[in-house]
Amino acid sequence: MSGASLLRLERITKSYGGTPAVQDISLDIPTNEFFALLGPSGCGKTTLMRLIAGFETPDTGRILLEGIDITHLPPHLRPVNMMFQSYALFPHMSVEQNIAFGLKQEGCARTEIAARVADMLRLVQMTDLGKRRPDQLSGGQRQRVALARALIKRPKLLLLDEPLAALDRKLRHETQFELIQVQRETGTSFMVVTHDQDEAMVMAHRMAVMRAGAIDQIGSPREVYEEPQTHHVAGFVGETNFFDGRVVQYMPGGVEIETTKGLRLEALCRHHPAIGARVTISVRPENLRLSSPGVFSNNGGIGEIIDHVFREGLSSVRVRLEGGDVVHVRQGQGEGVQDWVRGARVFVSFAPERARALLV
Amino acid sequence: MSVRLRLSALRRWVLAVPALWLVIFFLAPFLWVLKIALSKPAVAQPPYEPVLLLADSWAVMIEKIAALSFDTFEIVMTDDLYFAAYLSSLRLAAIATWLTLLVAFPLAYAMTRAPKKWRAALVMLAIAPFWTSFLIRIYAWIMLLKDEGLINKALLSLGLIHAPLSMFATESAVLVGIVYSYLPFMILPLYNALERQDPALLEAASDLGATPFSAFWRITVPLARPGILAGLLLVFIPAVGEFVIPDLLGGSDTLMIGRSLWSEFFDNRDWPTASAVAILLLALLIVPLMVYERQQVREAKP
């Protein structure tokens, strides 16, 4: 999947008019990796991408590509290409001319350009549309042209700025898998900037979750989902339930807290909060279980079913706990799963190893 | 088909207004000038003897049209002086138009690169000269360019020259006058074309390996082409027929068709010939307009 280090960011900082956009970010991207930069708008992910492409220069820090310092290299000299969010196709050129642009700048031979353009058109399944102008293409086709244009120079690293944002839902879903395939076929490292955690989860080998100019966590989608290290990551990636409280005692590998609503809950914890410190426990909906009151009595609370929806093979239940908090429980169908009726009283609980206590 | 062809009453009115405008202010005067061009000069008031009269019956009119003489057009087209004047007008207008483009492009480009909040003010500044009378501004150029003018005085007192440069009453002075006067007509369409360009296009070009120079020639300029063409026409067409600038800034040897027209009208009082000169000038200027029109159609086509 991945090999030697391709891109290295060393303590990159960039501010605009005194407002920091990117703060002290270090990052390593190996070759042949599909990497996602995930974060809400304004978190600095686009700035980070523009720094790598060379449209911005960092205030401090270094950018290395295959060990060579490219921090101050202008964009046209960097062996990195970018696919723009708006696609930025040249409106006065045909699809073929758009794709050929990068090679023409290199001064490639005409025959080689023609052959490589044809390869690219095949790669993005646009062979019949080479003569069209961008304004004669659909959104999905424009996206493919932009991808082909950015890939034709065989960059070591391809930056993709919100590559799917302009597509409709269905097309977005299909295109995700096409991007995965193109990445695998070309062996180019992809770095996708996105605010959509679904996209990052589906496509990326590894992802970085950003907030306020800094990286909160880097890991595989699974690690990030199952082992969120901050409150922000737990809330931003996937759905979760939070229980806020204060640490009352240490447990093996974790802590026990008393929630603001008076529940005693136990969860694993990677941090070392002081007794009495404020923490929050994050439990994914699929890690909460429902039972009739009285069967279990620890690590949970009593509540009342407020609605119950069956969707995509899963049953989705919302429960209002005593004290007013609403939690979301997701259950697969099958063994031991009861059909809960609205208004029923249930005991909602979770296994401590399936939950994480996070600092707030 | 018939449904689409049948225009609603409102749309018909909307189209009728500009059509009516053109008939009243362009077609009717044009036909009047044509009528004069087909008349014979005479010592009279007005100084021509009309051939076609509105009072004539249809039969007489048709007879007269059949017997019309195009003498005046023949004179204008065969006379070397007019030919030279047309040619010289086209040449001066063409040079001035290119110079205007060279001056206007960097200005328009800089305007689009200025912070957004300044741009409206910069556009106002570009058209600010229009707030002063055209004539006064041209007279001001005389003050600048003549032998004892400001420029010569300044250069002399700085010791850069020892005798005044003769700038006034030359072709160069006419070119300066035209470039100066028509600059806003070039800046505005260029600004409009450049401002609409997505800055991401230049970033994309640069990302794909284009130097700033190459990106400029392969992206900025081709995309600005409609604006460049519009600006060239807006400057070239009035510049060809320009009368005031060559008359005030040009020398006696500066030959331009506008001046020939003037002297034909007012010095020779030969209205038919002057009218023929004007109509031929119009015919000449329709050519670039048609080229432009075809360009536009071709661009709009997929």
Residue A238 — left, alpha, or beta (φ > 0 → left; ψ -120 to 50 → alpha)?
Answer: left
Of B200, B212, B302, the CB nearest to A88: B200
What pLDDT is stored for residue A2 in this prediction?
Answer: 44
B297/chain A closest Cα distance in angstroms: 15
Contact B208 A105 (CB under 8 A): yes
Q: Among candidates A161, A75, A133, A78, which has minimal Cα distance to B223?
A: A133
Q: Going residue by residue through chain A, which has 360 residues, state the pLDDT in tens, using 9 for 90 and above.
A: 445 789 999 999 999 988 889 999 999 999 999 999 999 988 999 999 999 999 999 999 999 999 999 999 999 999 999 999 999 999 999 999 999 999 999 999 999 999 999 999 998 999 999 999 999 999 999 999 999 999 999 999 999 999 998 888 888 888 999 999 999 999 999 999 999 999 999 999 999 999 999 999 999 999 999 999 999 999 999 899 999 999 999 998 899 999 988 899 999 998 888 999 999 999 999 999 888 887 777 899 999 999 888 877 788 899 999 888 899 999 877 655 667 788 889 999 999 999 999 988
Residue B64 inside a domain? The answer is no
Q: Determine whether A111 is exposed, middle or buried from the number of CB atoms within 10 Å of its CB (0-12, 13-18, 19+).
A: exposed
Q: Running DSSP on this structure, what letter comes out for residue A274?
A: P
pLDDT digits 0-9 by tens, B283-301: 989 888 888 888 888 877 6
- Residues of B at the A interface, defined by Cβ within 8 angstroms: 198, 200-201, 203-212, 214, 218-219, 222-223, 302
What are the chain A neighbours of B223 within 8 Å (beta carbons)? 91-92
Q: Which residue in the set B198, B200, B207 is minimally distant from A75, CB to CB?
A: B207
Q: Is A53 on the interface with B (CB under 8 A)?
A: yes
Residue B301: per-residue pLDDT: 62
CA distance A88 to B143: 50
3-state SS record for chain B: CHHHHCCCHHHHHHHHHHHHHHHHHHHHHHHHHHHHHCCEECCCCCCEECCCCCCCCHHHHHHHHHCCCCHHHHHHHHCHHHHHHHHHHHHHHHHHHHHHHHHHHHHHHHHHHCCHHHHHHHHHHHHHHHHCCHHHHHHHHHHHHCCCCHHHHHHHHCCCCCCCCCCCCCHHHHHHHHHHHHHHHHHHHHHHHHHCCCHHHHHHHHHCCCCHHHHHHHHHHHHHHHHHHHHHHHHHHHHHCCCHHHHHHCCCCCCCHHHHHHHHHHHCCCHHHHHHHHHHHHHHHHHHHHHHHHHHHHHHCC
Q: Spell out the residues 6+ positions from residue A256 whose beta carbon is closer than 8 angstroms to its own.
A: A247, A248, A249, A250, A264, A265, A266
Rounded distance between C-alpha atoms, residue A274 and residue B231, angstroms: 73
A136 contact B CB<8A = yes
What is the tens place of the pLDDT at every residue in B84-130? 999 999 999 999 999 999 999 999 999 999 999 999 999 999 999 88
Q: In DSSP terms, which residues pair with A296 in a beta bridge?
A: A293
Distance CA B222, CA B216 (A): 9
Q: What is the pLDDT of residue A29?
A: 95
In this predicted structure, what is the pLDDT of residue B5? 53
Q: Is A91 on the interface with B (CB under 8 A)?
A: yes
Whether A210 and A38 have beta carbons less than 8 Å apart is answered as yes
CA distance B265 to B278: 11
Domain membership of residue B115 (yes or no) is yes
A179 compared with B47, residue with greater pLDDT: A179
Q: Which residue has the tokens 């501004």?
A: B137
A94: left (phi over 0), alpha (psi -120 to 50) or beta: beta
The pLDDT value given to residue A1: 43
Nearest-by-Cβ selection for B222 from A77, A92, A101: A92
Query: What pLDDT was estimated at residue A335?
Result: 54
How far apart are alpha carbons B139 and A331 in whole angstroms?
89
The two structure tokens encoding residue B73: 């057009």
- In chain B, residues with a C-beta closer than 8 Å to the C-beta of A102 are 208-209
Domain with CATH 2.40.50.140 in chain A: 240-359
Q: Is A169 on the interface with B (CB under 8 A)?
A: no
Distance of CA A92 to the CA centre of its chain: 35
Over residues B238-251, the mean pLDDT reads 92
CA dist A135 and A228 (Å) reads: 43
Does some domain include residue B267? Answer: yes
- Higher pLDDT among residues B75 and A33, named by residue: A33
- Structural domain harbouring B231: 76-300
User: Is B209 close to A92, i.e. CB distance below 8 A?
Assistant: no
CATH number of A5-232: 3.40.50.300
Candidate CATH numbers 1.10.260.40, 3.30.56.10, 1.20.950.20, 2.40.50.140; the one for domain A240-359: 2.40.50.140
CB–CB of B204 and A75 under 8 A? Answer: no
Residues of B in contact with A55 (CB under 8 A): 203, 206
pLDDT exceeds cutoff 70 at B4: no
Q: Would the CB atoms of A82 and B207 count as touching at under 8 Å?
A: yes
Task: For chain A, give every residue range classified as CATH 3.40.50.300.
Answer: 5-232
- Closest partner residue to B302 among A74, A101, A136, by Cβ? A136
Q: How far apart are CA A156 and CA A187, in angstroms?
A: 9
Question: What is the structure's pLDDT at A314?
Answer: 83
Report pLDDT for B1. Answer: 42
CATH of the domain at B180: 1.10.3720.10
Which residue of A50, A82, A135 is the best one to mutate when testing the B interface, meaning the one whose CB has the most B CBs within 10 A?
Answer: A82
Give the distance from residue A109's alpha carbon to the nearest chain B alpha carbon, in angstroms: 16
Model confidence at B246: pLDDT above 80: yes
Instruction: Check residue B106 and give its pLDDT.
Output: 96
Report ipTM (2 d.p.).
0.84
Residue B65 counted as domain residue: no
Give the one of B209, B214, B223 whose C-beta lies nearest to A92's C-beta.
Answer: B223
Q: What local confidence, expressed as pLDDT, does residue A88 receive? A: 96
CB atoms under 10 Å from CB of B47, counted, come to 16
Say whether pLDDT at B2 is over 60.
no
